[in-house]
Structure 1
Amino acid sequence: MLANSIVLIHGRAGTGKSCIAGSLAQIIHKKQHPVLTEIELAMSFHCIRDSRDKDVSVLVPTLVYQLALEFPEFGEKLASNSHLDTSGDLSTQFDDLLFDPLMELKKEGKTKISKKIAIIVDGLDEWGQEDDRISFLTKLQTLCEMHNWMRFVITSRPNPEIGHAFLPDHSGLFKRIDLSEDERTMDDIAVYIKSYRFNHPKLKNTVSELEMLSLLPYINSLFILADVVCKFIAQSPCNNFKILANAETGYKSGRNSYDVLYSLYETVLTESLVDPINQVSIYMDVIGTLCVSQQPLTIQGLTKLTNNDARDIVESLSAVFYTDSESKIHYHLSFQEFILDNGMSNRRLGTSLYQFYLNVTKQHEHVALVCLKIMIQQLKFNICHLESSYLANEAVINPDMDQQVQRWISEELRYSCESWVYHMCETDEQSESWQNISCFMESKSIIYWMECLSCLNKTSHIKSSVGNTWPLVVRLLRTSHIPPIPSVYNTRSYTQSINLASLSPH
């Protein structure tokens, strides 16, 4: 598989691209395949939509750092450059951080390494803008042509700009793997269903293997469909299998596999409600907050942001939600797309009494106002109880700054400080909520907000807000007929005049 310098694994959402990327990373790292034992894994980078990790300035420096760990001579060459700058645009980053130092090493005869170094980039279609992806792939091809010891595995949806960026297949530089056309996919899904049933005694004792496999024709090569089907049936094996097996209540209708997937999501949501008329608005607030949030939330954080008992709701939707080792809630991208689909208002459920519909703009506004409320309630002077402003954050010990943050800054406050500007700028320009922004920006809380982000080592949020988002905030305040606010301009001047990154101002 890794005989080529670049391997592109592409397929529709839900075909198992991320699963393959994760499994391949583990196999290479643990030397679990004889053909791959001479390959070292330098990095596995997962691109996430609406996450700050997708920032185009992050991927190349991360790649360079991990490459330096596996290739010591490269690391030494970088360290010897006292003028090294990682803040340039994508093209400059490639030139300064990769092409130039590697070329110098090549001239010195220090790039003839015996091992291959693998780098996995999962979900490239979720990273940056179209022009960024084209530029990245173009530079990547040039890099691999110059240094044949590099191996890149890229997973992506079949975006045109990604497919067109590669050279013709006959060049030998790269290989395409289309999961949507691989006949072995259904065999893998069948193995997954059998394994899932075998490892869940309640399901194993209620639904036969033959019955589970009878649903295969409707899964249509989508791993995410198989996963949701298995988890949904496992919640209540006898009842939920009958629901899916029934052409009237199940998920079989649809012109394509995504209609089937959306129909399945609708079924899962419908069956999770005990009292639909009274529960649907609460459910959609919790689900909507998860789907518009910038980063994964824990049950506790979600409960604080929604003022609802999120645990019962998340557990009732275990077919689509799952938690990681840090108790943060995750879901497949296709579920977010289903919830945020503009056509949802026209989707009717099994009864005409209710429907799942999320007004995305209103949801952002609601979350933004909750963030403001949390900040007003919890932000305060010297929030981490530091002894002195003269001491740099990294010099704080016994306890250190991370321990202070865990003790004094709640999860909901952390999220609010990092994300309120983002949510507010996604709201309607005519919203009356801009008056709340005006009040917040004129209060002492705006200074406490900056202090809190400094404690969190997130001062980049301050400068990006002030430098890029703040002008938008000011313009929207004006269009809402709210007078200019002197404190906004004072905030801009303040962030430009103090080193917020090194010490918390209080």
Structure 2
Amino acid sequence: MQHVVKFVGGIDTTVSQIDTISSTYLRPLKTFNSVVGTIANIHPYAQIALGLLTSATQLVITQANLDSSVSSLLAKVQNVYEFLLEKDTLSNLCTMKDTLARIAQVINNYAQFIKNYSETKNFWKRLGENVGTETQTTINAYNKELDELMQQYRDRAVRDIYINIDHVREHLNLDGMARADGAGLKPTKKCLDGTRTEILKEIFDWVRDPDINTPRILWLHGQAGRGKSAIAHTIALWSKNMGGLGSCFCFARDRQTERREEKMLSTIARDLADRDLPFRRALAKAIEKDNSLKTTGDVMHQWEKLLLEPLKVSGGVFGTVVLVIDALDESGGNSSRKHILKVLTSSEAASLPCNFRIFVTSRPLSDITLALGRTQHVKAVSLDNVPAIYTERDIHLYVSSELKGHEGIGEAEINQIAHRADGLFEWARLACEFVTLRTLGQTTAERFADLMAQSSGEGAKLLDSMYRAILDNLMDKVGPTALTRFHSVMRQVLFTLEPLPMDGLNSMRRYFSHQRGNYKVAIVLDFLGALLSGVTEGTDPVRPLHSSFYDFLTDQSRSGAYFVNQSDIQADLAVASLDVLRDGLCFNICGLESSHLLNSEVPDLAKRVKARIPPHLSYSCRFWAKHLQSTKFDTALAMHVRDILGNEKILFWFEILSLQGVLGSAAPALVTTGIWLQGKEGYEDIAALAKDGVKFIHNFSNGPAASTPHFFLALSKL
């Protein structure tokens, strides 16, 4: 346990020190430490929670004589450990592991609270605030959380108790610091409970390893469909529930236009700041000295100024810190992750504090393998090498949970599906969707027979056969029109630069120049729920459930008749985007009452933006120029450009970009447009307007009106 103490708290408590402290409060804590060492063969999640409780115990012991202000909280902690030592509690560690983890999180927060108590006390006094009142408020919150969680454990019922105790909050402004939206933890993507136990235990053992020489980075790699992301989200969720998650950052193929790689480290820094007050102070001071750090896209600069230096100044972040980076291979081309790989393989990464762990998942692409596979401080683990007996067992458990109760599906059928999956969880998921899909005149048993008739193979070939089977079944007896519409709708879904919900897709589609037939995307997408997300809810963006489906559809050698190419789609999206702007842009779109307020001073601005700027209009404002850049010059398309740049609508476009916080993208869009129009006779005036727009943005950004939330003041000066 001494190693755990050094790892988590950086302390070393000797027996003589412990014996000098009042045994009234501390005896249950010391007893708990000795009992934990005798517990074996329990769920790895419960194991981690016990380890966290043990480490927090040692820290509490060293801080127990602070003063009487925390004595009531110490008494509550004593009660908690007495409760944990009860026979009934110990016998249900696995069944109540989630509640145990939340108890561990609160105790860990408490340990951090008393660790920083002296500093906090002095800080409050400097501000002239009442330390007793603030301390008692925090202690009351801890007591309430612990009471509720212990009662939940006694009731054997898992309820959603929100734990977020802020021991000290200062007004440290990090507003405006780049953060990637939607890149965080998604609990629904975690592994099915009871599966992947061996690989999860290996990862958790690495997280908890007290050896100072333990590699700071673990790279989990494997072919598509192995379940890497599910493992990543499981690690992140468990770490969060036990107070050890520093940040979870996920790349996605359909979000590459956001250039998430430039926001990864700033997002991680923000997440660490939300968790640790000393780090937040150090980060705020760094930004105060250099405000450009809020928006810099320079990965190496972020690494140095937003992470390494604040860690050094703050003295490090307390407790286990797990940083999860999922699907690094989906960041884009090699250049998109060049600097991230440089950071991960640097000597600074190797010498991060010993309580830091960085967990990375990806396919074994050549550039990632070359970088991470040969670095001493990176532990490489391949999912492709997990023994088949384990993966088949786990897939069997998953298939059983999905097909339980379906007529015609018994143990023999489940065994066949699990075996046929050949270690691919994505194939197993698709197989379950295929078997349970209701079709006219066909039984579940017959659909199972159709599934087993499909050719088997390894890796991508196995997934391809499943995709073809699902699409063949959908296209059977529907005629060539259905296939044509499938191509048209999927072309829009795959090559739209940011996923749109179904209403947004329909709104854009109305403007397609070559559109034949007035139909909505639902006549295709409603049948693709096994392959796409967002098709049942209606309001969520539509995107492939797995990146391998994108790979399948865009490779003609794999998809055959279902191949989706890019022909005409860029021109369609350019025309549609410009026409959406023509019809949707207007003066003061969010109905703001004053033009002299900062964006941050409009209390309901985010609500207004969401209500007044629909997804297809937002998309068109941000991406029309990118689609234009991907097309050849066309006179009809140039007239659409004139409709926006040739009148006041350009200012309304600026306004929306400002409201969304992306005004900086206007100048590059106009430069791109100027290049597209360059040398085209009869369109010199539009090119000049684009050039003037760039000057206007530059002058506006440096003028007195730069801080206004929209462009009333700018308009009045024209």
TM category (shorter chain) comes to 0.7 to 0.9
Is 1:445 the equivalent of 2:649?
yes
Superposition deviation, residue 313 in structure 1: 2.5
Looking at structure 2, the residues matched to 263 and 424 of structure 1 have their Cα atoms a distance apart, in angstroms, of 36
Looking at structure 1, the residues matched to 289 and 332 of structure 2 have their Cα atoms a distance apart, in angstroms, of 27
Indicate the residue corresponding to 1:185 in structure 2. Answer: 391
Is 1:362 the equivalent of 2:568?
yes
Is 1:257 the equivalent of 2:459?
yes
The AA in structure 2 aligned to 1:340 is T
C-alpha offsets along residues 63-104 of structure 1, whole Å, 9 cap, x if unaligned? 111122223222111222322332151112111222223334
Q: Of residues 326, 330, 340 in structure 2, which corresponds to 1:126?
A: 330
RMSD of aligned alpha carbons: 2.8
Matches within 5 A, 1:276-295: 276-295=479-498
Looking at structure 2, the residues matched to 50 and 426 of structure 1 have their Cα atoms a distance apart, in angstroms, of 17
Superposition deviation, residue 489 in structure 1: 0.7
Looking at structure 2, the residues matched to 181 and 77 of structure 1 have their Cα atoms a distance apart, in angstroms, of 43
Structure 1 pair 239–341 and aligned structure 2 pair: CA distance change class (3 A): farther
Looking at structure 2, the residues matched to 377 and 241 of structure 1 have their Cα atoms a distance apart, in angstroms, of 52
Q: Give ranges in structure 2 of 5+ residues lacking alignment.
A: 1-202, 210-214, 511-518, 713-718
Structure 1 pair 29–442 and aligned structure 2 pair: CA distance change class (3 A): same
Looking at structure 1, the residues matched to 284 and 298 of structure 2 have their Cα atoms a distance apart, in angstroms, of 20
3-state SS of the aligned residue for 1:119? strand
Matches within 5 A, 1:224-263: 224-236=426-438, 238=442, 242=446, 245-246=449-450, 251-252=454-455, 256-263=458-465
Structure 1 pair 501–318 and aligned structure 2 pair: CA distance change class (3 A): farther
C-alpha contact 1:138 1:166 (8 A) present in aligned 2: no
Indicate the residue corresponding to 2:547 in structure 1. Answer: 333
Indicate the residue corresponding to 1:396 in structure 2. Answer: 602
3-state SS of the aligned residue for 1:115? coil
C-alpha contact 2:582 2:643 (8 A) present in aligned 1: no
C-alpha offsets along residues 91-132 of structure 1, whole Å, 9 cap, x if unaligned? 121112222233344xxxx33x65110010001112255255
Indicate the residue corresponding to 2:621 in structure 1. Answer: 417
3-state SS of the aligned residue for 1:151? strand
Structure 1 pair 336–217 and aligned structure 2 pair: CA distance change class (3 A): same
C-alpha offsets along residues 322-342 of structure 1, whole Å, 9 cap, x if unaligned? 239863333211112222225
Structure 1 pair 146–243 and aligned structure 2 pair: CA distance change class (3 A): closer
Q: Of residues 297, 301, 304 in structure 2, which corresponds to 1:92?
A: 301
Is 1:137 the equivalent of 2:366?
no
Superposition deviation, residue 316 in structure 1: 0.8
Structure 1 pair 15–167 and aligned structure 2 pair: CA distance change class (3 A): closer
Identity over aligned pairs, percent: 23
The AA in structure 2 aligned to 1:101 is P
TM value normalised by structure 1: 0.84
Looking at structure 2, the residues matched to 358 and 479 of structure 1 have their Cα atoms a distance apart, in angstroms, of 34
TM value normalised by structure 2: 0.61
Indicate the residue corresponding to 1:174 in structure 2. Answer: 378
Indicate the residue corresponding to 1:194 in structure 2. Answer: 400
C-alpha contact 2:508 2:577 (8 A) present in aligned 1: yes
Looking at structure 2, the residues matched to 208 and 429 of structure 1 have their Cα atoms a distance apart, in angstroms, of 60
C-alpha offsets along residues 10-50 of structure 1, whole Å, 9 cap, x if unaligned? 1112211111111111122223xxxxxxx610111111224
Shifted more, 79-88 versus 90-99: the winner is 79-88
C-alpha contact 1:430 1:480 (8 A) present in aligned 2: no
Looking at structure 1, the residues matched to 357 and 254 of structure 2 have their Cα atoms a distance apart, in angstroms, of 28
C-alpha contact 2:501 2:541 (8 A) present in aligned 1: yes
C-alpha contact 2:254 2:543 (8 A) present in aligned 1: no
Shifted more, 18-27 versus 430-439: the winner is 430-439
Moved over 4 A (4+): 237-241, 428-432, 479-482
The AA in structure 1 aligned to 2:422 is N
Q: Of residues 15, 18, 22 in structure 1, which corresponds to 2:233?
A: 22
C-alpha offsets along residues 322-380 of structure 1, whole Å, 9 cap, x if unaligned? 23986333321111222222547xx55xxxxxx33433142222122222222111111
C-alpha contact 1:56 1:127 (8 A) present in aligned 2: yes
Structure 1 pair 213–276 and aligned structure 2 pair: CA distance change class (3 A): farther
Structure 1 pair 218–438 and aligned structure 2 pair: CA distance change class (3 A): farther
Is 1:69 the equivalent of 2:305?
no
Looking at structure 2, the residues matched to 164 and 303 of structure 1 have their Cα atoms a distance apart, in angstroms, of 44
The AA in structure 2 aligned to 1:442 is G
C-alpha contact 2:407 2:445 (8 A) present in aligned 1: no
C-alpha offsets along residues 450-483 of structure 1, whole Å, 9 cap, x if unaligned? 1122223332332xxx23x443332222366563
C-alpha contact 1:44 1:121 (8 A) present in aligned 2: yes
Indicate the residue corresponding to 2:371 in structure 1. Answer: 165
Is 1:473 the equivalent of 2:678?
no
Structure 1 pair 472–343 and aligned structure 2 pair: CA distance change class (3 A): farther
Structure 1 pair 131–233 and aligned structure 2 pair: CA distance change class (3 A): same
Structure 1 pair 340–433 and aligned structure 2 pair: CA distance change class (3 A): farther
Structure 1 pair 103–20 and aligned structure 2 pair: CA distance change class (3 A): same
Looking at structure 2, the residues matched to 187 and 453 of structure 1 have their Cα atoms a distance apart, in angstroms, of 51
C-alpha offsets along residues 464-505 of structure 1, whole Å, 9 cap, x if unaligned? xx23x4433322223665633221011101111114664211
Q: Of residues 155, 161, 164 in structure 1, which corresponds to 2:361?
A: 155
Structure 1 pair 180–430 and aligned structure 2 pair: CA distance change class (3 A): farther
Structure 1 pair 246–494 and aligned structure 2 pair: CA distance change class (3 A): same
Superposition deviation, residue 429 in structure 1: 5.5
Looking at structure 2, the residues matched to 357 and 207 of structure 1 have their Cα atoms a distance apart, in angstroms, of 33
C-alpha contact 1:375 1:416 (8 A) present in aligned 2: yes
Q: Give ranges in structure 1 of 5+ residues lacking alignment.
A: 32-38, 349-354
The AA in structure 2 aligned to 1:227 is R
The AA in structure 2 aligned to 1:165 is A
Superposition deviation, residue 241 in structure 1: 6.1
Number of aligned pairs?
A: 472
The AA in structure 2 aligned to 1:67 is L
Indicate the residue corresponding to 1:384 in structure 2. Answer: 590
Looking at structure 1, the residues matched to 276 and 332 of structure 2 have their Cα atoms a distance apart, in angstroms, of 27
Indicate the residue corresponding to 1:34 in structure 2. Answer: none
3-state SS of the aligned residue for 2:710? coil
